A and B are shown apart, each in its own frame.
Chain A
Amino acid sequence: MAASDTTMAAADRASTRERAADYLLRRHRFRAAEALPWLFAIAVFFVFPDRMTFGSQVLVMVMFALSLDLILGYAGIVTLGHAAFFGVGAYTVGLLAARLQWTEPISGLFAAAIVAAIVGFITGWFLLRYRGLTLLMLTLATAIMLQETGNLRSDISGGYDGLPGLTFKPLLGIFDYDLYGHTYYLYALAVLAVVFYFVRRIVYSPFGQALTGIRENVRRMHAIGSPVHWRLVTVYTIAAAIAGVAGALFTQTNAYVTLTVFDFDNSAKVMVMLILGGTGRLYGAFVGATVYMVLEDYFSKLSPTFWQFGIGLVLVLAVLFARRGVLGLFESMGQYIAERKKS
């Protein structure tokens, strides 16, 4: 009796394990629809060849929003200072180019990722003991402190006038910067693809599941012995590194950087984009950043004076009718249609 109980339990455990593994694998598998944003990005390249400067800016913001999704959408860390890491990455590349004449773009990205990760690790280790409003204030303060440090040493950072006229070596030694921004669009797209693959791996790994657990119920995660603090610090560091890469791309595509990259505006805007697209669903960053920036561009051309009203209206409507973002809205609509068909 007792013996059969244990075997039953063991078999049960084995099948639970199998099911969990199966579940993870299923989620991890690429779906056909996931090719859409990439095909779209490539199509844009051929349809709007004159608008690639803008296109590169969108891709940079997508990457920035993606890094925020990792900590806000998956781990539930609410931050108002994510621009700190974007700025650190931006300045790493800028200072390397302006002060040390290190102008190779790809190694610059790695340098930015490393420096931003170090800053992310140190601040994260310290700040992630706190939650809620305290954390909001402290992350905000981090960005402001970095900005003020830059202003204090404007002999090095260039202050609010920035580091002008940065030049970078041709990509891979072949492709040079062009006025139309074609090179940098494809470059940004390639970097985004690599970063995205990496983020996707993380999200669907057991580590990613643990993060979702922390977001949903932190006490329970403590109770089952999950090292909550270190998991949060780890993901915060990774997100910081990715934001740093986004910042580095920003500097490289603009060939210019000023202290305004640390602005509260920058932190807030990326959060609005992510929420508009939908948090915790990877592609929310793509949809949110693209929709926000295209609307901004379109409205500001339509009326250079009153365009912010248009953006405001869209955001209000999103809050009222699409709380889970544009992707959430699609999902709800899909479910609704499916249920209608069933009945």
Chain B
Amino acid sequence: MRIIGWLGLAALAFTVGGTAQAETVKVGVVLPFSGANADLGHQIDKAFDLYVKLHAKDIAPNTVEIIKRDEGPPTGAVAKTVATELITNDKVQILTGFVFSPSAIALAPVVTQAKVPMVIANAGTAWITNLSPYIARLSFSMWHHGYPMGAYAFKSIGCKTAALAYTDFPPGKDSTEAFKTGFEKAGGKVTESIPMGSPVQVPDFTPFFQKIKDAKPDCMYVFIPSGAHAAGVMKTYGELGMRKAGVKLIGPMDLIPDNKLQDMGDAAIGTVVMGNYAVDLNNAENKAFNAEWHKAYGKDSYPDFMSAAGWDTMHAIFDAIKKLNGKVDDGAKVIDAMKGWTANGPRGKVTIDAATRDIVQDENAMEVIRKPDGKLGVKVLGTTKAVKDECKELKVGRCGS
């Protein structure tokens, strides 16, 4: 009887010890799930879900509990409220997601105060990572695409002069500033810089482009928010016959969103964009990623650059959990575990810069071509390896503080 009692106690101690070792890490996901921008949220969310599903075993016996909340419109206020409550009410230990820069900017003082790491999967304003030591970013800044495009356009595309046209909001200003810096450093000359209205509605691009056509620069660098704007740019560019007139269309990859590319037609062929991801990117991880994606979401659903960043984001979070064996209560340790993290993902090799906590990644110059099967696709012309956020390297404006 007594022995059985001891055995029972031992068994009890064993189970208690066992559960104490397996931690459940609470991860708060804040993404736009409703309204006009729901698409963006879902592209990242699908990648998150896919990664968690396929790699849950990597962190065993620990597990993650994902709590999703709607990021709302790009005002910062809603995201701040829901994310603060994820911390105070749901006690999440890691925050991730964040499509819009204002959300991340609004939340920076909160995560500093709460000492909760915020792992950004999209928000692209360059100086966000300066705002808190608890922020790490796995996506990009506007400078990642714009700055290397400057040098590439001058040296390889043959742009001696370029006109800039951009949607008049922060990413547009950042992107053209980045291109201009890289382009002028390489020896190019910017002829003019045209703001093209607010991101809310798609303008008629004709007057802007006609003015550029008349000035005859070698190239035209265009930044617009992806989606419907991109379709409008391509339509006007084709109608005005600008390629025949000798004005090449270049820009960041937002110009050719994957879900709009097929509708753009011949006008798009020959456009050169700089970007960190395309479905056609030729590396083993990307092929596996695409295969798993199609298996999970059907053959007509494609991942995009946001999904690729989402995948790497969850990868970095999982690796940090694994490294700390699920003990993630100390946010500073989680961020430390991510500093210098490196892995091969769909975008190629990605690293978190230990000094800035921002991503270092390869940038590809990609030309739109017609593939043998008749569909439009991209061909990689050249790759710039290990691109850092030059805004912080060169200390431009707010990036310097």
Contacts and interface: CB of A to CB of B under 8 A. Distances in A.
Interface string B105-140: 110111001100000000001000001000000000
A259 to B, nearest CB: 9
A161 interface: yes
B61 interface: no
B238 interface: no
Contact of A250 (B69, B72, B77): B77
Contacts of B198: 148, 151
Interface residue SS majority, chain A = helix
Contact of A304 (B70, B74, B102): B70
Contacts of A181: 84
A177 B216 CA distance: 56
Nearest to A311: B34
Contacts of A179: 84, 87-88, 110, 113-114
A164 B105 contact: yes
Nearest to B91: A50
B34 A305 contact: yes
A308 interface: yes
B135 to A, nearest CB: 12
Interface residue range, chain B:
35 or more
A45 interface: no
A258 B34 contact: no
Nearest to B168: A151
Interface string B60-78: 0000000011101111110
Interface string B142-175: 0000000000000000000000000011100100
A167 B108 CA distance: 12
B80 A161 contact: no
**Most chain A CB inside 10 Å of its own CB: which residue of B76, B87, B168:** B76
B101 interface: yes
A256 B89 contact: no
Contacts of B109: 165, 167, 255
Given A53-B88, A254-B77, A305 B102 contact: no
Contact of A50 (B42, B70, B89, B173): B89
Nearest to B42: A305
A151 B88 contact: no
A54 interface: yes
Interface in A249-263: 250, 254-256, 258, 260-261, 263
Nearest to B107: A256
A258 B114 contact: no
Interface string B31-64: 1011100100010000000000000000000000
Given A300-B72, A304-B34, 20 more contacts: A54-B85, A151-B198, A160-B102, A161-B102, A161-B170, A165-B108, A165-B131, A179-B114, A256-B80, A256-B102, A256-B105, A256-B106, A258-B74, A260-B74, A265-B73, A300-B33, A301-B69, A304-B69, A305-B34, A305-B42
The 4 closest A-B pairs by CB, nearest first: A304-B33, A260-B75, A50-B89, A256-B106
Interface of A: 50-51, 53-54, 57, 148, 151, 154, 159-162, 164-165, 167, 179-181, 250, 254-256, 258, 260-261, 263, 265, 300-301, 304-308
5 contacts: A159-B173, A161-B105, A179-B114, A255-B109, A305-B34
